[in-house]
Amino acid sequence: MREPGSIVITGASSGIGESLARLYAARGIALALTGRDRDRLEAVAAACRGQGAAVTAAVIDVTDREGMAEWLLGVDQAAPVDLLIANAGVSAGTGRAGETEEQARFIFDVNLTGVLNSIHPLLPAMRQRRRGQIAIVSSLAGFRGMPGAPAYSASKAAVRVYGEALRGELAADGVEVSVVCPGFVRSRMTARNPFPMPFLMDGETAARIIRSRLARNRGRIAFPWPTAAAVWLLAALPPGLTDRLLRAAPKKP
């Protein structure tokens, strides 16, 4: 696929989304960024404009189906979208009290419904043009349910499998789909973790990996490889061998 000229990134006000926006920003690139924190989003947009990109930034919650559809269709009309990165996501910990119903529903709403709200408004136009690329940001936590973050693990598993299926479904229409499964990446989300995070990497490194592999249309972008290998092993082993180990793992606050 040619280098994208019009790019949409959700969850662009921090973390991987911010790093991707800064990495892609250049003269001749149209960036459409959305996030929930106005001040941080404007700071990212200003930095990207300083690198020469034409930037549209909007404070929209990805759970707002109508708001997302209206914004995305407007973006696509102004500059047909080549690459959509559905990155927005949240996490929460069970701590000592356990995950509440409200937490679980909120996490699923953002991480799963938010992805659907980000993808589907643009799919008809991409199919009609017979080109375009979609990147769905999942997580290595989506390969095995982690007791410390049940809803996060499950919601990321759902979007991973959905993206893998969508890749096969849309291939004949010329639309490429990749699923991104990062390990621990420095962000406001991971900053709250009070436990060691193996192979923790910065957002800039993660963004470079993602961009490079998207350019090669990789179906699954999982990194870093040692963490990915460990998670795949946990997923492959029977629960009787892994349950005790995972129950002893530290919990998010």
The catalytic residues are 152
Beta bridge partners of 31: 7, 55
Q: Phi and psi for 111 in degrees, rounded to 5?
A: -75, -30
Hunting for tokens 């390969």 — which residue is that? 143
DSSP 110: I
Distance separating alpha carbons of residues 69 and 72, to the nearest angstrom: 5
DSSP 25: -
Beta bridge partners of 85: 9, 135
Hunting for tokens 């179906």 — which residue is that? 219
Whether residue 189 contacts residue 175, with contact meaning beta carbons closer than 8 Å, is answered with no
CA dihedral 152, 6, 119, 222 (to 10 degrees): -40
